[in-house]
Amino acid sequence: MIQKTEAIILRRQEIRETSLILVAFSPDLGKIHGLVKGARGARAAVPWYLEPLTLQSMVLYERRRSSLSLISACDLIDAFDPIRRDLVRTAYAGFCLDLVDSMTEQSDPHPEIFHLLLAVLSALKEGADPRSMARFLEVHLLRMTGLLPAWESLALSPGGRLSLQQILATPFERLGRLRLTYGIAEELRGILQGLLHRALEKELRSRIFLRALGLEGVRSVHEEAA
């Protein structure tokens, strides 16, 4: 069956000499594992921009005897270029893609998760605070998957509880205005990371990378002076 959908590419894997496997998330098909033939090399039949952190319009064909769909066409909608020009935003965007990939199953549609991820990436593109966007994604992804406890049961300071309530009440269209202080963002990170670790039973490489850059769990010199 041939289908057309919009999808955000989460990751890619090169196979053989000219082909790619793309993992993407769409509102109506959920997580897609798709094969793109002729995507690499001098005679590539599809454009070069089939990279993670892009929003694409895809045409794909679901094959009955394979978990891999055949992707026959991709048209770039948004490459989120302002994010790519900044290492910090790129690192946080990579974490957002990694988290959605790890928290979802193939062919399990969750349009609300797609719109959440798209809203966060769009806010990052427009200059929103990266750390606050990561906390927003974590909170709402836990909520949407039924893994977020009642806020009253979490060991948070009064400021942490107020900020969590603010995150839950902030509509996607006003997401870019959200800005958490370093201390509150780190307090929430500790709680949310514990919840996610129990769900995933692993630590994401993208989070390890954020920590290596001094962006998570480490107060920078600039923030110490603030």
* Confidence at 221, pLDDT banded by 50, 70, 90: very low
Calculate mean pLDDT across residues 49-71: 90
Domain's final residue, options 52, 78, 104: 78
Q: What are phi and psi of 53, to 5 degrees?
A: 65, 45
Same domain, 198 and 211: yes
Final residue of a domain: which of 45, 78, 111?
A: 78
Residues 126, 182, single domain; the answer is: yes
Specify whether 46 is located in the same domain as 90.
no
Between 185 and 15, whose confidence is greater?
185
| Structural element, H or E, at residue 56 | strand 55-61
CATH number, domain with residue 74: 2.40.50.140
What pairs with residue 30 in β-bridges?
26
The structural domain count of the chain equals 2
60-69 long-range Cβ contacts below 8 angstroms, 24+ apart: 60/2, 60/3, 60/4, 60/5, 60/32, 60/34, 61/1, 61/2, 61/3, 62/1, 62/3, 67/33, 67/106, 68/21, 68/33, 68/34, 68/35, 69/32, 69/33, 69/34, 69/35
| Structure confidence by residue, pLDDT tens digits, 119-173 | 999 999 999 999 999 999 999 999 999 999 998 999 999 999 999 999 999 999 9
Same structural domain, 74 and 33: yes
Answer yes or no: do 59 and 142 share one domain: no
- My answer on whether 106 and 119 are in the same domain is yes
Structural contact between residues 40 and 48, judged by C-beta atoms closer than 8 angstroms: no
Is a pLDDT exceeding 70 seen at residue 195? Answer: yes
The answer to whether residues 218 and 197 belong to one domain is: yes
The residues that bridge with 21 in the sheet, in sequence order, are 13, 35
Q: What is the pLDDT of residue 7?
A: 98
Average pLDDT score over the chain: 90
**Is residue 217 a contact partner of residue 226, using CB atoms and an 8 Å limit?**
no
The amino acid at 91: A
On whether both 64 and 96 belong to a single domain, the answer is: no
41 contact partners, CB below 8 Å, separation of at least 6: 17, 18
Residues 99 and 63 in one domain: no
How far apart, in whole angstroms, are the C-alpha atoms of residue 157 and residue 33? Answer: 42
Are residue 18 and residue 125 in the same domain, yes or no?
no
Cα dihedral across residues 163, 167, 169, 173: positive or negative:
positive
pLDDT for res 19:
81
Range of the domain at 216: 81-225
Residue 145: per-residue pLDDT: 96
In angstroms, the Cα distances linking 162 to 152, 158, 172 are 11, 6, 18
pLDDT at position 95 over 90:
yes
Residues 107 and 58 in one domain: no
pLDDT of 47? 52
Tell me the one-letter amino acid at 192. Answer: L
Residues 175 and 124 in one domain: yes
Q: Residue 226 has what pLDDT?
A: 35
- Mean per-residue pLDDT, 99-108: 96
